[in-house]
Structures are given as structure tokens and as C-alpha cells.
Amino acid sequence: MRDIVEIGMGKTAGRGYYLDEVALVPSRRTRAARDVSISWQLDAHEFALPLVAAPSDAIISPSSAALVESLGGLAVLNGEGLWARYEDPNAMFDEALGEGELPEEIALQRLYAEPLRPDLLIAAIKAQRDAGVGVLAVRLSPQQTAELADPALRAGVDVLVIQGTVVSAEHVSQRQPLNLKTFIADLDIPVIVGGCTNYQTALHLMRTGAAAIIVGYGANAGATTPSVLGIDVPMATAIAEAAAARRDYLDETGGRYVHVIAHGDLTTGGDIAKAIGCGADAVMLGEPLAAGAEMPGRGAYWDHTVSHPSLPRSALEQVLPADERVMLSEVLIGPTFDPSGQRNLFGALRRAMAKCGYSTVKEFQRVELTLARRGG
């Protein structure tokens, strides 16, 4: 039973927990890290890492998508980003990264004001294939899915991601409503939808036929969604509720499993381990990958909400100066000399699973947790 607190006469609120408020509890059994598998499978696509790279122009280009996949993850191209607006997006990064005359956020807004071009989206998807990407994934917003899904599918997309800050089973618009259940039923590729924040929304999204749902809105150091919209997601609670919805949906359908992907407040290996311990099957990472020297953002990170023409909900964040960036392989799989937890993220996950005695990601979802917030 979730803890319900009265915050005033006639108004109650559920108590939510962030990932930094919980800790893993090792069992009596431990394992060797080499005996642990952290692989993840979505539909027919298998990945060495339970990783989805967030659809940010700062980290995903056709070439960097190929690198992410070679290291074991699934890379998602932003289908409404610079690659779908400019013939040469690389030429726009100087302005996006503050080397022009405008402040960074204003420059980004103006760059993303350029109209979307379906032909450029098709070209970007094909460029990924030419770069060696085997599993092509593209993110579209609920508002643009009806218009851009067809060219993306014609270009050969293997996984479609329908993602916004908050996504419901039916996006209502005066222009053209998007009913996810009807839309997904007509596709023969897996669809990932999100974000969601609680049990009920997670269950509704699972009932649309999605192969996976995203929990969270991608909270990072530059995100201002809590200040702008008043929306925040205590990720430990949100993931646990989505996992409960997954269990109930599994019973409801007689065995249909929907993956839970955690997105937000994930910066260290410990965060990833706790997210999976709360019930996630995989994590969507954005900001941590910006430390990779091969990423197009040159050490900066921003998400898709920075470009909103009237109400941006994030700012450009300089994750690392150019001379301090490391190879993406060090960020994801090591080895590393950095003890901060921000390098060799999935080596840390593997070792956490071994210390707690679990050999697969699905088994690790059963790990015991304790409340363990530090500091005041």
C-alpha cells in the first residue's frame, strides 16, 4: 500500500521516493562479475547493454548512433531534431554551442524554428544505415507522429519511439488526434512510448500494444520542467509502479511482457543499478553520454524540450570541456581510472548485480531495497 500523506484539509498526496533515497541490499550469495549477463532484448532485437541512448542532437547523429550500437546499446535519433531540419546539421553546431552572437538557449530555439522536412528525415535515417547501424530507431513527438511516421517507416525504421514529457494513450488535438492503440495496431515494428509517471498511466500505455514504455521525462542538470510545469518524477517510486503495472498487464493478457525503460536522474552506475533494482528492464541515458569525445555536442547536452518555441523546459548544459572528454567506450563499458561512478557505467551495473548475487537483469529486479537517504 502506497504511503498517503494529508498535506492539508481535503488534500492528500502519495509519498514518492527518488533513486538517491534508496539503496541496494546484498544477499547472502555473491557471484563473479564475469558470470553476470546484462544483455537486453526488445522484440527480435538483442543488445549487449540494457541501454537506450536518448534522442538528443547533442549525442545522437548517424555516426554516433553506429558507435552506440557497436558498444551494445540502442541509439534513438531525434526525428524532429536538426538532422530533419538542415542538410548539414554539423555546420549549425557552432551556433548551437554558443560560438555565435546569441545566448545559447535563444540560438537553439532559432535553430529548431527551421521547418521540419520529411525528405531530410528520410536521408538521416538512411545515413544511419550507411554508417552501419543495424537497428534503426527514431523518436517522434505525439504531436508530429501522424505526419512524420510514414516517411520514417518508408526509410526503414526498425523501432519507433513516441515520446514527450508526458504521454497518454490518446493525444487529443484540434488538428488530428493520435490514438496510440489504433496507430500501433497498424504497425509491424516495436513501438516504445512515454514518458509516464505512475501505475495507471503505465498500464494504459501498455494496453496500447507498445513493446516498451518510458518512465520519467529525462530529468537532468539542465532540465527545468519542475519549475516551469510543476511536474516532477520521483523515479524510484515511478519505476516500481510501472513494474507493478507490467506484472498486472502480464496477468491480464496471459503472458504479454512490456519492457520498462527508466529515463531521468541517471548519472552514475549506482543510479542505473538502483533503477533496474526498482523494476526497470533498461535505462535511457542522455547527459552521461555527452562526456563521450565522439558525441556531436562537443561535451554539451540538451534535450528536445529546449527548442519549444514559446515555453522551453531545459537549458543547454556543458557537461565537460572539450579537453576533458573521454572515449564513449570508457563511459559505457570501461576500463576507467575515474572513481566517481560516472565512467564504466555498465561495468558498475554488472558488479552491483554480482555483489547482490544475481546473474540476469530480470533476476536483479527482485533485489531487496532499503531507504537510505544521506545528508540533510
3-state DSSP of 171-205 = ECCCCCCEEHHHHHHCCCCCEEEEEECCHHHHHHH
* Phi–psi pair at 90, nearest 5 degrees: -60, -30
What one-character-per-residue DSSP string does 249-305 give?
HHHHHTS---EEEEEES--SHHHHHHHHHTT-SEEEESGGGGGBTTSTTTTEE--GG
Look up residue 187 and give its DSSP letter: -
Q: For residue 163, list its beta bridge partners.
A: 194
Rounded to 5°, angle at Cα 195 from 190 and 200:
95
Q: Which three cell numbers stand for residue 304?
A: 528536445
User: In sequence order, what are the residues at sequence separation of 6 or more whose Cβ sits closer than 8 angstroms to the Cβ of residue 330?
Assistant: 336, 343, 344
Question: What length does the chain have?
Answer: 376
**Letter for the amino acid at 323?**
D
CA 374 to chain centre: 26
Q: Cα separation of 106 and 111, whole Å?
A: 9
What one-character-per-residue DSSP string does 52-75 give?
EE---TTT--HHHHHHHHHTT-EE
* Phi–psi pair at 325, nearest 5 degrees: -70, 155
Taking only the tens of pLDDT, the chain with its 376 residues reads 678 888 888 899 888 999 999 999 998 789 999 999 999 999 999 999 999 999 999 999 999 999 999 999 999 999 999 999 999 888 887 766 765 555 566 778 888 999 999 999 999 999 999 999 999 999 999 889 989 999 999 999 999 999 987 676 555 555 566 788 999 999 999 999 998 999 999 999 999 999 999 999 888 888 888 888 888 889 999 999 999 999 999 999 999 999 999 999 999 999 999 999 999 999 999 999 999 999 999 898 998 888 777 888 877 888 988 788 999 999 999 999 999 999 999 999 999 999 999 999 999 999 999 998 764 4
Q: Please identify which residue in the block is written with the cell numbers 534513438.
A: 76
Beta carbons of 50 and 361 less than 8 angstroms apart: yes
pLDDT of residue 100: 54
Half-sphere exposure of 100 (CA within 13 A, CB side): 16
Q: Which three cell numbers stand for residue 252?
A: 491480464
Beta carbons of 347 and 331 less than 8 angstroms apart: no
Q: What's the alpha-carbon Rg for the chain, to the nearest Å?
A: 20
**Letter for the amino acid at 8?**
G
Q: Which three cell numbers stand for residue 357?
A: 548475487
pLDDT of residue 90: 82
Bond prior to 335 in cis (omega within 30° of 0): yes
Look up residue 59 and give its DSSP letter: T
Please report which helix (H) or strand (E) contains residue 40, including its range. strand 40-42
Rounded to 5°, angle at Cα 232 from 183 and 96:
75
Q: How much is the pTM?
A: 0.94
User: In sequence order, what are the residues at sequence separation of 6 or more whose Cβ sits closer than 8 angstroms to the Cβ of residue 106?
Assistant: none
**Letter for the amino acid at 218?**
G
Q: Which three cell numbers stand for residue 371?
A: 531507504
Count the helix, strand and coil residues of the chain and give each as a percent rounded to the nearest 5: 40, 20, 40
* Phi–psi pair at 370, nearest 5 degrees: -135, 150
pLDDT of residue 109: 83
Beta carbons of 27 and 364 less than 8 angstroms apart: no
